[in-house]
Chains A and B, each alone.
Chain A
Amino acid sequence: MKEQTDEKALLEGLAASDKRTVETIYKENYNMVQALIINNNGSADDAKDIFQEAMIVLYEKARSGSFELNCQIKTFVYSVSRRLWLKRLQQQNRFSAPGDNMQEVVSVEEDLEQHERRNDEFEMMDTAISHLGEPCKSLIEAYYLKKQTMQEIAAKFGYTNADNAKNQKYKCLMRLKKIFFTHYKNENGDD
C-alpha cells in the first residue's frame, strides 16, 4: 500500500500548494497528457493549456478535501484532460473521438461541473477587482491576497498611519463587494 500513501502525501502537499509536490505531479503527468493532445489534433500549446487546467481541477479538488482516493492521480488527470480536450474539439468542430487504448478512464463529469462553477466565480472576482481601479486594486490585493498588515500597507502606499490606510481599504472593500455581489446574485438568482 506504499503507493497509496505516496499519492495521499502528494495530494496533501498539493492542497498546501507545496512547490516541490506540484513540480513532481507536473513532471510525472505532463508528457502523458501532451501525447494525448498531440495524437488528437492538438498542438504543444493546446497541451500546456489543457494540462494546466486539469492541474487546477486537481488542486481545487484536493483543497476542498473531498478527494476520495478511488483512482490514481494519473488516471484522474488523464480523464479530466481528455474530457476538457473533447469539449474544446467540439467547440471548434474538429471532433473526432480520442483514441485511448493506453489509459483507463474514470467519470469526471461532477468534478468538471464544479470546476465550471469555480471558473465562473473566479472570473467574477477577477472582473470585480479589475473594475476597482488604482489604488483600490493594489490595496485590496495587498491586504486580502498577500495578507500584509495595515502597518506594512500604510508604509508601502504612503499613508500617514495605519488608520488612514484602513479607512481607504474600507471604502475600496465596500465598492468591491457591491460589484461582486451584483454579479454573484445575478448568476445565482435562478435557484
Chain B
Amino acid sequence: MTDIKILDAVERYIRGEMNPDERVQFEALRKSNTEIDQLVVEHTLFLQQMNSFGKRKSFKSSLNDIHENLAGQGKIETMKMTGKAKVAYMWKRYKRVTAIAASIAGITAMAISAMVWAVAPKANSDYEKLVGDIKDDIKNIKVENAQQKNAINKVVNTLNDEKRAAIIYKSGGTGFVIDAKGYIVTNYHVIENANNIAVQNNRGEFIAKVVHADKSKDLAILKIVDDNFKPYTSIPYSISKTSARLAESIFTLGYPKNDIVYGQGYLSSLTGYNGDTLSCQIQIAANQGNSGSPILNKNGEVVGILNARQKSTEGFTFAIQGKYIYKALEDLKKSDTSYLKLKLNSKSQISGMERMEQVNKVEDYIYRVKVN
C-alpha cells in the first residue's frame, strides 16, 4: 500500500466508514504494525483539532451575523452611545476628575463673589428698578425671537421638501462608506461643480454634502445629512495604511450603471499615469461611473480608490492609494475640530471569507454618487 492509501484507510477507519470485514482486517494490521497504530492515534487527534477549529470558526462568524441582525431589528441595545447612555458612561469614567474640577470652580466662584461684594458700591433703588425693567424687556424679546425662529424653520423645511422633489440628478460616480455615521469617500472630479449631491444604493437615496475636497489628490469626503439615514453599526472592510503589492489580486464594486457591478483584476504597477506616485495602475475593467469605487484585496482591505478620469488610450486603469484616505482625514480634522471623532476601521471583518460572501457584506456600504 502507498502512503496515500494508508492515510485514506486511516481516515475511513476513524470516521467509522469501513465495512465490518475491512474493519477486522485493519484492526489486525494495526496490532501487528506499530507505525500504523501510531498514525491512527496521531490522526485521530489531528481530526479532532480540525473539527473543533472548524466548528469554532463558523460559530464565531455566525455570532457576528447575529449581532448585526439583532441590532438591526432593535432587539438588543447597541449603544453607539447617544444621549443619556453616553452621559452616564462619561460620568462614570470621569467622575473623579469632574468632582475635583467642580470643587475648584466652586471655591474660585465663592472667592470672586466675596471680593466683588466687598468692593462694589451699594446700589440705589432707582438703579435696581431700571435693571428689573430691562430684564423683563429682554425676556420678552427672547420669546418673540424664538417664535420667529420656529416660523422660519417651518418655511425652510417645506422649501427643502419641495426642493428635494424637484432636483433631477445625473450619475456621477461611486463612493464607499469609511465611517459608520455616514461618511463616504469618492473622487473629487465626481463632485466637482455639484450644487446638490445624493447617494443611492439598495438602502435608499440620501442627501449628502461635501465636507472635504482635495483637487490635487482627486479625493473628496461626503457626509450623509439625510434624516432618513440610519447609521451603520460597523464597517466590514478596513482601510489599508500600507501600499498594495505588485501582482496582488484585487476586486472592486461600483456603479457604472444603475446596478452594482463587480470586477476583479490585479495590481499591475506601483505608480500611476506618467509615473505618478500618488496612484497605482491596476488591471481591471472600469469606466467613468466606476470612479470612486473601492479597490479591495483578498483580505477585505481597501488598498485604493478607482480613478477612471485619466484614462489613457491603452485602456489602463488607475487607482489612488488607500493610505491617502488617512491623509485626507487628517487634513479634514485639522480644518474643523468637529470631525475629530472620525475613525477609520483598521481591522477587516471579512478576511478569510469566500469572495461571494465578501461581496455580499460589502455591497451595502457602496453608493452610487449622483450630482446636480
Which residue numbers of A lie inside 8 Å of B, CB to CB? 17, 19, 22-23, 26-27, 30-31, 34, 38-39, 41, 43-44, 48, 52, 55-56, 59-60, 63, 118, 121-122, 125-126, 129, 144-145, 166-167, 170, 173, 177, 180-181, 184
Contact = CB atoms under 8 A, between A and B. Distances in A.
A121 B66 contact: no
A19 B57 CA distance: 14
Interface of B: 3-4, 7-8, 42, 46-47, 49-60, 62-64, 66-67, 69-70, 75-81, 85, 88-89, 92-93
A180 to B, nearest CB: 7
Contacts of B53: 121-122, 125-126, 129, 145
Given A41-B92, A52-B63, A180-B46, A121 B52 contact: yes
B77 A52 contact: no
27 contacts: A17-B55, A17-B62, A19-B66, A22-B59, A22-B66, A23-B70, A26-B66, A26-B76, A27-B76, A30-B70, A38-B85, A43-B89, A44-B80, A48-B78, A52-B64, A122-B52, A122-B53, A122-B56, A125-B49, A129-B53, A144-B47, A144-B50, A166-B4, A167-B4, A170-B7, A180-B46, A184-B49
Given A125-B49, A144-B54, A19 B62 contact: yes
B93 A41 contact: yes
Given A38-B89, A48-B67, A56-B60, A31 B76 contact: yes
A52 B49 contact: no
Contact of A26 (B46, B52, B67): B67
Given A26-B66, A52-B63, A52-B67, A17 B76 contact: no
A26 B70 contact: yes
B63 A34 contact: no
Main secondary structure of the interface of B (DSSP, over half): helix
Contact of A27 (B3, B75, B80): B75
Contacts of A39: 92
B43 to A, nearest CB: 8
Given A56-B60, A125-B53, A126-B53, A31 B77 contact: yes
B55 A22 contact: no
A30 B76 contact: yes
A54 to B, nearest CB: 11
Contacts of A129: 53
Nearest to B79: A44
B92 to A, nearest CB: 6
Contacts, number: 97
B237 to A, nearest CB: 17
A59 to B, nearest CB: 6
* Binding site secondary structure of chain A: helix
Nearest to A138: B354
**Most chain A beta carbons < 10 A, residue from B7, B49, B55:** B49
Pick from B47, B58, B70, B76 the residue with the most CB of A within 10 Å: B76
A181 to B, nearest CB: 8
A43 B92 CA distance: 12
B267 to A, nearest CB: 17
B347 to A, nearest CB: 11
A122 B58 CA distance: 12
A191 to B, nearest CB: 15
Contacts of A126: 53
Contact of A170 (B4, B66, B81, B88): B4
A22 B3 CA distance: 42
Given A122-B52, A122-B53, 16 more contacts: A19-B66, A22-B59, A23-B69, A23-B70, A30-B70, A34-B77, A38-B92, A48-B78, A52-B67, A56-B60, A145-B57, A167-B4, A170-B7, A173-B7, A177-B42, A180-B46
Contacts of B92: 38-39, 41
Contacts of A60: 52, 56
A31 B93 CA distance: 19
A51 B56 CA distance: 15
Task: Identify the interface centre among A26, A126, A166: most chain B CB within 10 Å of its CB.
Answer: A26
> Which of B7, B51, B63: most chain A CB closer than 10 A?
B63
B62 A56 contact: no
Contacts of B75: 27
Contacts of A177: 42, 46
A27 B79 contact: no
B323 to A, nearest CB: 24
A55 B92 CA distance: 27
A38 B63 contact: no
Nearest to A129: B53
Contacts of B42: 177, 181
A34 B88 CA distance: 14
A76 B69 CA distance: 24
Contacts of A166: 4, 8
Given A27-B75, A30-B70, A55 B63 contact: yes
